[in-house]
Structure 1
Amino acid sequence: MPRPRKRDYDDLRRDLIDAGGRLLADEGPAALSTRRVAQATGTSTTAVYSLFGDKAGLVREMFVEGFDRLAAAFAAVPRTGDPLADLLALGDAYRANALANPHLYELMFARPVPEFRPAPEAGRRIRSTFDALVAACARCVEAGVFAEADPDAVAVQLNAMAHGLCSLELRGALGDAAEARAHWRRAFAALTRGLA
């Protein structure tokens, strides 16, 4: 049998991460086993162990992958001459990423697997997503859009609002997609007015 190409390993890795995330989101931490993840992707547990080492390694990679996808979503937002529009576009990217990856979202921001704690290395790796938000806030401060002089403080407020809205939307508490979008717009308009 020919050795799989690198792309095949990348696809399998992604499939295993998504399968693990869906099991965790749909059935809880008790359902997350290497056997169940392998079955969901039509492969063997050997593949899980080869790629991730063990179940803890799979959970760690699910966590990091969620932030890698968020970082990619942020990187795809173009930078324009309007810092506030760019900041709001990051909010849209955050929301779109959460809706596209709901099975990874809770693991990114909560502790559905009680024994999982991100290692310092993972913390450094995921920091770029918050740094992107701080940089966008700094542009707004420099342009005089916000009166608050601390971009980190602004980023924390915006991040908290985005997280709260995403959590509610993913649980169906903001109505349909149009209603949820309207809630997002009103909340961010009110916060940015207050910051100004």
Structure 2
Amino acid sequence: MPRPKQRTPELAEQVLQAALRLLAAEGPAALTARRLADAAGTSPAAVYELFGDKAGVLRAVFFSGFEHLAQELGTPDPDAAGLDELHTLAQRYRTFIVAHPALSAIMFSRPFASFDPAPEEQAAGAAVRKRIVAAVKAAIKDGQLQGDAIDIAHAYVALIHGLAAAESSQRLGGSNATIQRRWNAGVGALLAGFAAS
């Protein structure tokens, strides 16, 4: 099968999808121009032309990761109480991080010295931040939580990342029931700590 020659948006998407597959299967070390080209059915020259360098590929992966996380979190349920929504969001966020550890590392841990997200990359997570802060504000408005919404959102996300890291490294328990119980206890305790008196 001949390799595509045109540097099109479709080819860029093929390379991005190949990067996501390689990342999931083999981790960050697999993201070389040659491996990406082979996986996408194109040439290393096309990868360089489309993305500039490895940092350009990582930038595209970074943006894609936040788009996927925003989709995973979904849209607000207008009928859900604020705390119910926060419990739901915690489980969806958890599902994403545990299912995509290598992608999450690029999004949140910066495992490559060659990729330091610029302000426009940092803004990629805006939809995720807004979604979580909106749920916290709804819980405050409902009288379920009290405090600064941004402070609560930061503590909430930090807890989710910590629990997800423990789960991913098999340090949160030996059974699904135990892991879920500890998730419920952690998220419940954090939200109870901010509960309105």
Q: TM-score range by the shorter chain?
A: 0.7 to 0.9
3-state SS of 1:111 partner? coil
Unaligned runs of 5+ in 2: none
Q: Determine the structure 1 residue equivalent to 2:150.
A: 152
* 2:16–2:61 Cα contact (<8 Å) kept: no
* Cα distance in 2 for residues equivalent to 1:47 and 1:76: 37
What percent identity do the matched residue pairs reach? Answer: 32
Q: Determine the structure 2 residue equivalent to 1:71.
A: 70
Unaligned runs of 5+ in 1: none
* Cα distance in 1 for residues equivalent to 2:176 and 2:34: 35
* Cα distance in 2 for residues equivalent to 1:82 and 1:13: 41
| Correspondences of 1:171-186 after superposition (within 5 Å) | 171-175=169-173, 176-186=175-185
Residue deviations 1:102-152 (CA, integer Å, cap 9, x gap): 22011111121023111111112222211211111000111110122x100
Q: Determine the structure 2 residue equivalent to 1:114.
A: 113
Deviation at 1:10, TM superposition (A): 6.7
Residue deviations 1:27-64 (CA, integer Å, cap 9, x gap): x54x5311123334454323422432221100111111
Q: Determine the structure 1 residue equivalent to 2:136.
A: 137
Q: Determine the structure 1 residue equivalent to 2:86.
A: 87
Superposition TM-score, scaled by structure 1 size = 0.84
* 2:19–2:31 Cα contact (<8 Å) kept: no
* 2:12–2:50 Cα contact (<8 Å) kept: no
* 2:22–2:31 Cα contact (<8 Å) kept: yes
Q: Determine the structure 1 residue equivalent to 2:24.
A: 22
Q: Determine the structure 2 residue equivalent to 1:56.
A: 55
Q: Determine the structure 1 residue equivalent to 2:14.
A: 12
Superposition TM-score, scaled by structure 2 size = 0.83
Question: C-alpha root-mean-square deviation of aligned residues, in Å?
Answer: 2.6
Q: Determine the structure 1 residue equivalent to 2:167.
A: 169
* 1:80–1:86 Cα contact (<8 Å) kept: no
Sort the Cα spacing of 1:177 and 1:15 in 2 relative to 1 into closer, same or farther, 3 A. farther
* Cα distance in 1 for residues equivalent to 2:46 and 2:171: 38
